[in-house]
Structure 1
Amino acid sequence: MGLGKTVQTIVFLYSLYKEGHSKGPYLVSAPLSTIINWEREFEMWAPDFYVVTYTGDKESRSVIRENEFSFEDNAIRTQIKFHVLLTSYELITIDQAVLGSIEWACLVVDEAHRLKNNQSKFFRVLNCYKIDYKLLLTGTPLQNNLEELFHLLNFLTPERFNNLEGFLEEFADISKEDQIKKLHDLLGPHMLRRLKADVFKNMPAKTELIVRVELSQMQKKYYKFILTRNFEALNSKGGGNQVSLLNIMMDLKKCCNHPYLFPAPVLPNGSYDGNSLVKSSGKLMLLQKMLKKLRDGGHRVLIFSQMTKMLDLLEDFLEYEGYKYERIDGGITGGLRQEAIDRFNAPGAQQFCFLLSTRAGGLGINLATADTVIIYDSDWNPHNDIQAFSRAHRIGQNKKVMIYRFVTRASVEERITQVAKRKMMLTHLVVRPGLGSKSGSMTKQELDDILKFGTEELFKDDVEGE
């Protein structure tokens, strides 16, 4: 991530065309939020390409098809007019009838881990397209288990990878060295993998620190209340089901972030009292101290959270502290998103912080003008956090990058971080040498274990205090 997959792909397609290997047309499918960036890069690196961006509502797309798809000779449609069609995942499915009728020289799928499930509509529809060659781009080919990797390989070469059970059986014990070597040999012809160290010899270092945070008094009260209110579900004899356990987990995660994520008192103008807002959350008290030091040191900061409501609270906090900032979440798309990035990256920009939601802000964004990343709350999937901090640690970065991951001590968060480490081991083993399991989702036992982590200490404080 951050190694120029977009630029390399554009130059690859351009060289195929310029050297006479292929005349196109090429189909590029990417997340809607990254399409503006793809347009810019095509303009810069492949100026002779006729690139058509195929997005918008039904009417807009109809106009594009009418005017941009093919030349008209005596009212008869002839050859394709463009070299590259740039479109979103959704339109690949919605406009299958039109796009599927074209014979594509090459398909490029950006953030291709979208194809990790062969039951998804996107996978099934794209499999029906007429395509000579396929190129998948991803910084995370393996997120949870080997099954996902198999589906990517199956999409690329179905004639070779067509037996999932056999594949999983063959690599059942992935911790054995001979199995790892065998898997690497199998992947070799299909995967071109580059590390930051290979591509950019002078890439500044990055350091990740786990910062353990204490709950505030208010958070402790909420945390205990959530646990006691759900005693039946948490008590193994009561036997809560998986859904109810996940709901309890979400409440506990909210509590670790900020108690105001539950109904809280607001001022007449609809905002929160700044002092109370900070004092109510252990993480916010720490963030207040850290941001002051980071600002004095001339650093610029990206703050990631999974919860958009938490980003709302962080906005109130930054307003209260008097810091200038930008924000991107799932509700901010297209042009507005790119404008926010451009404002933050502009020379001499006054914005000190950029608030981002982990999933919406973790794809195809270059924020290398920041050198500090704060993961306010960790994602279930550690690869999403890696995608997030790769916004700053990428080509173009000339300072050392510091990553601070906030984890509430003796809470569900601490246990989730340990589970995430296990998932990362699988990637290290398969895509490069490390321990793995075949299962991706959590069992009820694991959920139980996470929820009960740290509770003994929390309630012991009560007894000692009495």
Structure 2
Amino acid sequence: MGLGKTIQTIVFLYSLYKEGHTKGPFLVSAPLSTIINWEREFQMWAPAFYVVTYTGDKDSRAIIRENEFSFDDNAMKGGKKAFKMKVKFHVLLTSYELITIDQAALGSIRWACLVVDEAHRLKNNQSKFFRVLNGYKIEHKLLLTGTPLQNNLEELFHLLNFLTPERFNNLEGFLEEFADISKEDQIKKLHDLLGPHMLRRLKADVFKNMPAKTELIVRVELSPMQKKYYKYILTRNFEALNSRGGGNQVSLLNIMMDLKKCCNHPYLFPESPKLPSGAYEGGALIKASGKLLLLQKMLRKLKEQNHRVLIFSQMTKMLDLLEDFLDYEGYKYERIDGGITGALRQEAIDRFNAPGAQQFCFLLSTRAGGLGINLATADTVVIFDSDWNPHNDIQAFSRAHRIGQANKVMIYRFVTRASVEERITQVAKRKMMLTHLVVRPGLGSKAGSMSKQELDDILKFGTEELFKDENEGQ
């Protein structure tokens, strides 16, 4: 994450080619949003490579296959003969989806090396991508990821199984062997096992004088309106929450989502007061949410001191409200979420990173804005609401804390006091411990998704205090 994985990979492929170890071709598969960046880096670091970007709709892909794949005119139509064909390009850049959709064409080429960027997307072997790639003819495989372990050892096993299936082919055995991984000898064993397969670099190894980063958890109070909504959601769902009635996991997750929305902003519910123009009245918008009240004060200070801010939320609707808020406050901003694709994305990033850019804030959705995007011109990150998976938040703030960053990076994580959010943060911390222990020297567990017990526990966190306040108030 900001360690130059892309550049290291390109230079690695280039030197394989230049030193005569292989003629290629190389297949690079990456999330669609990062392909433009890969193109740029190839141009810069491996100018002699002929790189073909294989994306677009069905017709444009057919044209690329016809013109860019081979020196023989109808090689691609010849089916099985494709092995014999002389491939025109050195590198084919494509998205995960097309590896699956166009496996007939791509699978007929013998690849010298496959690179999968953000490989934690491969983490379960049920994924179609995984199964399809196993049918490709590939000499060598290279997986790039900033987070090799997101939840448990099982995911790590699937990555290893993809790399060396002959060695890692028994998941049960693997999990059993390392089930009790708190023992010293077990840990050593896992590390010896990982050693030959994993090259792990920390920012500190690559970049000796990286500016520091500080993460602060900022505890925010609910506004009166939020308290009203929060109690309403709890009382409305009393049946599901009452442990004797006991709702199922789905209904508990729905309640959880409602409570998370409420912690962000009560206007995320349909019955919110809009002006005739379709926007919200700025003052009321801010007063309705404890987080926005705080953000308003923070941004004024940050603006005075010439900082630039990335604001992450998981909810695109929340990003809409934040846009209204920034307009009302008169700040210039950019925005990226799942609906904004490759080229537009890169334009927004370039505008924000341009010297002397006026944009003060960049609004990003945690999942869409968290992958392979470079925003090192900002030095302050606000995580408006935390992700279930702490790795997504780390991916998110690594947009700013990366090579190229000149200032100290401050990360403010908003957490609503005595609410589901506070408890989720505690659960997330536990997940982070797991990574620290397995990928660095250490241990792991089978803890994957939330159990019903955990959900119950999270939902009830802080409710006592909330209703107690009310009784005292009366």
How does the TM-score come out when normalised to structure 2?
0.97
How far apart are 1:435 and its partner, in Å? 5.3
Q: Do the aligned partners of 1:51 and 1:82 also contact (CA within 8 Å) in 2?
A: yes
How far apart are 1:434 and its partner, in Å? 4.7
Would you say 1:225 and 2:227 are equivalent positions?
no
How far apart are 1:182 and its partner, in Å? 1.2
In structure 2, which of residues 437, 450, 457 is the aligned counterpart of residue 449 of structure 1?
457
Describe the superposition over 1:4-45 as per-residue Cα deviations: whole angstroms up to 9, x where unpaired.
Answer: 000000000000000000100000000000000000000000
How far apart are 1:433 and its partner, in Å? 2.8
Structure 2 distance, partners of 1:456, 1:301, is 36
Give the corresponding residue for 1:395: 403
Describe the superposition over 1:210-260 as per-residue Cα deviations: whole angstroms up to 9, x where unpaired.
Answer: 000000000000000000000000001111000000000000000000000
How far apart are 1:72 and its partner, in Å? 2.3
How far apart are 1:437 and its partner, in Å? 2.2
In structure 1, which of residues 133, 141, 148 is the aligned counterpart of residue 148 of structure 2?
141
Q: Do the aligned partners of 2:66 and 2:73 also contact (CA within 8 Å) in 1?
A: no
Give the corresponding residue for 1:259: 266
- Partner-residue secondary structure (3-state), 1:133: strand
- Partner-residue secondary structure (3-state), 2:215: strand
Count residues in correspondence.
466
1:169-318 → structure 2 map (5 Å cutoff): 169-263=176-270, 264-318=272-326
Give the corresponding residue for 2:26: 26
Structure 2 distance, partners of 1:419, 1:381, is 9
Describe the superposition over 1:74-129 as per-residue Cα deviations: whole angstroms up to 9, x where unpaired.
Answer: 98984000000000000000000110010000000000011100011011001110
- Partner-residue secondary structure (3-state), 1:407: strand
Describe the superposition over 1:269-320 as per-residue Cα deviations: whole angstroms up to 9, x where unpaired.
Answer: 1000000000000000000000000000110000000000000000000000
Structure 1 distance, partners of 2:52, 2:230, is 53
Q: Do the aligned partners of 1:36 and 1:335 also contact (CA within 8 Å) in 2?
A: yes
Residues 435/106 of structure 1: CA separation in 2 closer, same or farther (3 Å cut): closer
**Moved runs in structure 1, 4+ residues, more than 6 A?**
73-77
- Partner-residue secondary structure (3-state), 1:80: coil
Q: Do the aligned partners of 2:187 and 2:443 also contact (CA within 8 Å) in 1?
A: no
Structure 2 distance, partners of 1:105, 1:43, is 20
1:50-69 → structure 2 map (5 Å cutoff): 50-69=50-69
Would you say 1:379 and 2:392 are equivalent positions?
no
Structure 1 distance, partners of 2:451, 2:126, is 22
1:31-50 → structure 2 map (5 Å cutoff): 31-50=31-50
How far apart are 1:179 and its partner, in Å? 1.4
Residues 317/73 of structure 1: CA separation in 2 closer, same or farther (3 Å cut): closer
Structure 1 distance, partners of 2:308, 2:400, is 10
Q: Do the aligned partners of 1:422 and 1:435 also contact (CA within 8 Å) in 2?
A: no
Structure 1 distance, partners of 2:13, 2:384, is 39
What amino acid maps onto 1:198 in structure 2?
A: D
In structure 2, which of residues 93, 96, 102 is the aligned counterpart of residue 86 of structure 1?
93
Give the corresponding residue for 2:159: 152
Would you say 1:10 and 2:10 are equivalent positions?
yes
How far apart are 1:73 and its partner, in Å? 6.5
Q: Do the aligned partners of 2:27 and 2:114 also contact (CA within 8 Å) in 1?
A: yes
Structure 2 distance, partners of 1:417, 1:437, is 19
What amino acid maps onto 1:256 in structure 2?
A: C
Q: Do the aligned partners of 1:423 and 1:436 also contact (CA within 8 Å) in 2?
A: no
What amino acid maps onto 2:335 in structure 1?
A: R
What amino acid maps onto 1:162 in structure 2?
A: N
Would you say 1:429 and 2:437 are equivalent positions?
yes
Give the corresponding residue for 1:126: 133
- Partner-residue secondary structure (3-state), 1:304: strand
Structure 1 distance, partners of 2:74, 2:174, is 54
Would you say 1:327 and 2:338 are equivalent positions?
no
- Partner-residue secondary structure (3-state), 2:298: helix
Structure 1 distance, partners of 2:10, 2:387, is 31
- Partner-residue secondary structure (3-state), 2:105: helix
Residues 447/73 of structure 1: CA separation in 2 closer, same or farther (3 Å cut): closer
Q: Do the aligned partners of 1:425 and 1:434 also contact (CA within 8 Å) in 2?
A: no
Structure 2 distance, partners of 1:351, 1:134, is 41
Structure 1 distance, partners of 2:261, 2:56, is 36
Paired-residue identity, %: 90
Structure 2 distance, partners of 1:73, 1:169, is 54
Describe the superposition over 1:420-463 as per-residue Cα deviations: whole angstroms up to 9, x where unpaired.
Answer: 01111110110003553202011100000000000000000011
Q: Do the aligned partners of 1:422 and 1:436 also contact (CA within 8 Å) in 2?
A: no
Would you say 1:162 and 2:169 are equivalent positions?
yes
In structure 2, which of residues 419, 424, 431 is the aligned counterpart of residue 416 of structure 1?
424
How far apart are 1:185 and its partner, in Å? 1.0
- Partner-residue secondary structure (3-state), 1:70: coil
Would you say 1:366 and 2:380 are equivalent positions?
no
Q: Do the aligned partners of 1:368 and 1:394 also contact (CA within 8 Å) in 2?
A: yes
CA RMSD of aligned residues (A): 1.1
Q: Do the aligned partners of 1:174 and 1:429 also contact (CA within 8 Å) in 2?
A: no
Q: Do the aligned partners of 2:332 and 2:360 also contact (CA within 8 Å) in 1?
A: yes
